[in-house]
Amino acid sequence: MQGRPITADCTVTATFTQMAPTYTVTASVGVGGMINPSGPVTVNSGTPRSFTVMPNSGYRILSISGTCGGSLNGSTYTTNPITADCSVQAAFTPITQTYTVTTSAGEGGAISPTSTKVNSGAIYTFTLVPNSGYSIWSAGGSCGGSLHGNTYTTNPITANCTVQAFFVKNYTITTNAGTGGTISPTSTQAFPNAVYAFTLAPNPGYKVASVSGCGGVWYTGNYYKTFPITADCTVTATFTQMAPTYTVTASVGVGGMINPSGPVTVNSGTPRSFTVTPNSGYRILSISGTCGGSLNGSTYTTNPIIANCSVQAAFTPITQ
């Protein structure tokens, strides 16, 4: 700067002031957003510094930490007055999306819980509770999922969706077994239009005499299968005492055969026939034993069998 012309003795005086020290604020972020300004920032001592914190789409600010101290107001973080080198760290977290699962139950039962909020990607379970006289029929809906017992488990939830529970009224199949045996299972609850099987078990010395009810077919092996159930119905089995059995032992001497041979099982009070066949050159000599009976041609018929007994056929050569 050019001064005025000097026309007398004079003095030039200068004064100086001390500059405030500066410090470095290092700003950093985690995954999910930005901070501005970022990196090291120079700040005068005693001065606060503001930063803009910006989450990425689908994220939100989780926390602001560091050694500078400060406070967050909206998206602006302002430090305390800076008195030393310090740091600011911004952390972000994904925004959790929630969806609504709406539940409904048909007549005959309930589903629990009722409509509920579920985090995106979560799997949720519901309990189906049938009323008395009803059974669980099925469960489904737009959430997808599977039913096991009375628990329905959804697929991972990715949108608002529904779960529906369906119930069906039961019919009662009543079983009735007479003296001499049992039928199983006993009285049972039945689904509409379902087919049910029952096993008949005669006591020792008894056999099944008849079985009927609920439509159905009686199969060999004491097995009964109903027609599709459309109303309450009854399956009734009766049993009859079996006659005792005895053993008839048939044998022959030299010169012929008897058929059947060996021990034969015969019901009590029933006669038994045997065919007696001489070999060539022989004839029947006699039929004996403890069964009693009579010979007619080559057929020997016992008396009614009332105990274990025997039949013996004897032959003799034909004399020329």
How confident is the model over 154-172, as pLDDT tens digits?
999 999 999 999 999 889 9
Per-residue confidence band for 244, with pLDDT thresholds at 50, 70 and 90 = confident
Q: What is the DSSP letter of 47?
A: -
CB 101 within 8 A of CB 143: yes
Supply the mean pLDDT for the chain.
Answer: 92
Q: What is the dihedral of CA 189, 192, 193, 195, to 10 degrees?
A: -10
Residues forming a β-bridge with 314: 286
CB 233 within 8 A of CB 171: yes
Cα separation, 154 vs 157, in Å, equals: 7
Nearest of 126, 133, 161 to residue 147 by alpha carbon? 126
Per-residue confidence band for 17, with pLDDT thresholds at 50, 70 and 90 = low
pLDDT for the residue numbered 6: 84
pLDDT for the residue numbered 140: 95
- Pinpoint the alpha helices (H) of 105-147: none
How confident is the model over 295-306, as pLDDT tens digits?
999 999 999 999
- Pinpoint the alpha helices (H) of the chain: none
Beta-carbon neighbour count of residue 126 at 10 Å?
24
CA 116, 121, 122, 123 torsion-angle sign:
positive
Query: What SS3 state is found at 85?
Result: coil
Domain spans of the chain, in order of start: 22-94, 98-169, 171-241, 245-317
How confident is the model over 75-133, as pLDDT tens digits?
999 999 999 999 999 999 988 889 999 999 999 999 999 989 998 889 999 999 999 98
CA 187, 192, 193, 194 torsion-angle sign:
negative
Cα separation, 193 vs 87, in Å, equals: 75
- For residue 283, what are the CA distances in angstroms to 121, 287, 314, 318? 97, 12, 9, 6
